[in-house]
Amino acid sequence: MQKERQNNIFSALYWREAARQLKDVRMITVAALIVALRIAVKFLKIQIAPGLNISLDGYVNSLGSVIYGPVVGLVVGAISDTLGCLVTGRMGEYFPPFALVEMSSSFIFALFFWKRKINFKRTLTAKFTVNLVSNIILTSIFNKWMYFLYYGLERAQAYNIINGARIVKNLVMFPLEATLIVTIFTFALPVLSRLKLVDKNLCYLEKPSTKRLVIELVGFTALSVALILFYVFFLKDFVSGLNIKIW
- What tens digit of pLDDT does each residue of 103-151 get? 999 999 999 999 988 888 899 999 999 999 999 889 888 887 877 777 7
CATH of region 2-244: 1.10.1760.20
Reference 130, options 186, 192, 57; nearest CA is 57
Tens of pLDDT along the chain (247 residues) come to 555 556 778 888 999 999 999 999 999 999 999 999 998 887 778 888 777 888 889 999 999 999 999 999 999 999 998 888 777 666 556 778 888 999 999 999 999 999 988 888 899 999 999 999 999 889 888 887 877 777 766 665 666 666 677 788 888 888 889 989 988 998 899 899 999 998 888 777 777 666 677 777 788 888 888 888 888 887 777 666 555 544 4
User: Which DSSP string do the residues of 51-83 spell out, in sequence order?
Assistant: TEEEETHHHHHHHHHHHHHHHHHHHHHHHHHHH
Q: Cβ distance 206 to 120 under 8 Å?
A: no
**pTM of the model as a whole:** 0.87
Count the helices and strands in the chain (H runs, E runs). Answer: 11, 6
Q: Cβ distance 134 to 106 under 8 Å?
A: no
Compute and round to an integer the Cα radius of gyration of the chain: 19
